[in-house]
């Protein structure tokens, strides 16, 4: 299969953003890829290409702005913090991007899903928390804390959370709270926890045990396989 890629520039509140679309060239179920805290990088673009290889249209979205990419822990934290502190703003931006993706010729607007990594995992869970009409979302080592503004909403998207049990950024107490939240929202949800695995387990560049970010090849492979099965189910 020949995979084609193109950039997608879009404007939100006067600012320009740039996503990358990867596809087989025709209309297919679309899967948004929400980026980690550094911004939309080649990591997310490669995931969009891998999704296209599976027969979907992959869209590596941009939340920060065209060419905005953190290069240090301090810069990454500064970029992410406004979104974590204002989840309503984050949700509004994400929902806006979902509508933009639906309008693209490579996307089947009736079959939309989203996956995300780290901060991106929080993002896709927040899309679902709004009650948005997506087929499903997949969080890879995402932050699990509830946003505080979606209590009482029914989640219609199916949920898959892929989690390292030793992730210091989402400890067992957060996992338990997440399970209660999803159950109260009447979600179709599942969580796969990988023993002995820390945060950022899908990122080969992650190698900071003191910070809690360590790549794990086994969990990387298993989580991608779980995502593949999940997408096959929700798009059947």
pLDDT confidence of residue 79: 97
Taking the alpha carbons at both ends of the chain, their separation in whole angstroms is 21
Mean pLDDT by 10 residues, the chain (236 residues): 93 96 94 98 98 98 97 96 97 98 97 98 98 97 96 95 98 97 97 98 96 98 98 96
Give the helix/strand (H/E) hosting 60: strand 57-60
Edge-to-edge strands, sheet with 28-34: 4-12, 15-23, 57-60, 28-34, 107-117, 136-140, 158-164, 189-194
Q: What is the DSSP letter of 56?
A: S
How far apart CA 167 and CA 211 sit, in angstroms, is: 10
Domain 4-234 indexed as CATH 3.40.50.1820: yes
Structure tokens, 15: 């600012």
Looking at residue 168, what is its pLDDT? Answer: 97
* Residue pair 208/216 in contact by the 8 Å Cβ criterion: no
Helix pair 87-102, 73-85: axis angle to 10 deg = 90
The string of DSSP codes covering 124-162 is: HHHHHHTT---SEEEEES------SS-TTPPP-SEEEEE
Question: What is d(CA 135, CA 31) in angstroms, rounded to the nearest whole number?
Answer: 10
Distance CA 30, CA 33 (A): 10
Question: Looking at residue 169, what is its pLDDT?
Answer: 96
- CA–chain centroid gap for 101, Å, is 15
Q: What is the pLDDT of residue 25?
A: 82
Q: How far apart are CA 24 and CA 54, in angstroms?
A: 10
Listed residue (137, 162, 179, 176) closest to 218, CA to CA: 162
From the number of C-beta atoms within 10 Å of its C-beta (0-12, 13-18, 19+), residue 152 rates as exposed
């Amino acid at each position: 299969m020949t995979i084609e890629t193109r950039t997608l520039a879009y404007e939100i509140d006067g600012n320009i953003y740039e996503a990358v679309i990867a596809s087989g060239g025709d209309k297919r179920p679309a899967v948004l890829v929400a980026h980690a805290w550094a911004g939309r990088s080649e990591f997310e673009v490669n995931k969009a290409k891998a999704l296209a290889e599976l027969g979907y249209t992959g869209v590596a979205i941009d939340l920060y702005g065209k060419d905005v990419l953190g290069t240090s822990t301090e810069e990454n934290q500064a970029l992410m913090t406004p979104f974590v502190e204002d989840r309503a703003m984050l949700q509004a931006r994400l929902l806006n991007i979902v509508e933009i993706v639906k309008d693209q010729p490579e996307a089947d607007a009736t079959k939309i899903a989203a996956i995300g990594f780290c901060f991106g995992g929080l993002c896709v869970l927040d899309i679902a928390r709004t009650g948005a009409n997506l087929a499903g979302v997949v969080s890879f080592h995402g932050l699990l804390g509830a946003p505080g503004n979606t209590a009482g909403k029914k989640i219609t998207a199916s949920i898959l959370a892929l989690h390292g049990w030793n992730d210091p950024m989402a400890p067992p107490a957060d996992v338990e709270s997440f399970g209660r939240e999803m159950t109260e929202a009447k979600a179709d949800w599942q969580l796969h926890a990988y023993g002995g695995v820390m945060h950022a387990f899908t990122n080969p560049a992650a190698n900071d045990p003191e910070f809690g970010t360590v790549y794990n090849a086994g969990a990387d492979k298993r989580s991608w396989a779980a995502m593949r099965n999940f997408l096959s189910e929700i798009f059947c």
